[in-house]
Structure formats: C-alpha cells, structure tokens
C-alpha cells in the first residue's frame, strides 16, 4: 500500500510540474485553471507542491502569479513578500 501511494504521488508531482510549465506560457485565465487543477491534484493525492512552485501562485485565490500584473513582489530582510492583487493577501517566503 505504501508503495502504491508513492507511485501515485510520483505521478501527481509530475502532473503538477507539467501543469505549472503550461501555465507559464498560457494566458491568465487558463494559467489560473492550471493552478487550480494542480492544487486539487495535490490535495486529492496528498502530494506536496514542489517548493519552487509554491511561490508561483496565490494560496488563497489560487491564481497564477505574474509579477507586475497580478502580484507585487518585494524582497526585504532575506524574505520575499508577494502581494496578491486579486484577493489582496500577502504571502511571505524565506529566501534561501
């Protein structure tokens, strides 16, 4: 059973990465849909979204971040602060 879960997660992670890759070149509405799909895949299969992709979208409204368009990015004291212009929430990331 454990092995089966690992397999499911592996596939899910691959799909999540693929969705984000496509979101990168898609227009906003489509990119948002890809993020929502990736998110539901992640919650359904309990697969964590890869760290580097976590900062690419808003955790609250699940919109794909396009810096300068729907989010503002600031770097201060070793932290990255993303301000979502859709739902007006801040997200902080520790920069490593």
Please report, as ranges, the residues that interact with Zn ion according to CB under 5 A: 58, 60-61, 84, 86-87
Count other C-beta atoms under 10 Å from residue 40's C-beta.
11
CB of 78 to Zn ion, least distance (A): 23
Token pair belonging to 89: 């929430």
Compute how many other C-beta atoms are within 10 angstroms of the C-beta atom of residue 75. 10
Alpha helices in 26-96 (DSSP H): 28-45, 51-54
Nearer to Zn ion, 37 or 61 (CB): 61
CB of 4: closest distance to Zn ion in angstroms?
35
CB of 2 to Zn ion, least distance (A): 35
Q: 19 vs 58, which CB is nearer to Zn ion?
A: 58
């Amino acid at each position: 059973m454990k092995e089966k879960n690992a397999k499911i997660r592996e596939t899910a992670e691959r799909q999540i990465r693929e969705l984000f890759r496509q979101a990168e070149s898609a227009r906003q509405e489509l990119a948002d849909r890809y993020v929502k799909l990736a998110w539901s895949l992640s919650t359904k299969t309990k697969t964590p979204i890869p760290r580097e992709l976590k900062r690419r979208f808003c955790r609250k409204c699940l919109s794909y971040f396009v810096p300068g368009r729907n989010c503002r990015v600031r770097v201060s004291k070793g932290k990255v602060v993303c301000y979502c212009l859709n739902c007006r929430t801040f997200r902080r990331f520790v920069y490593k």
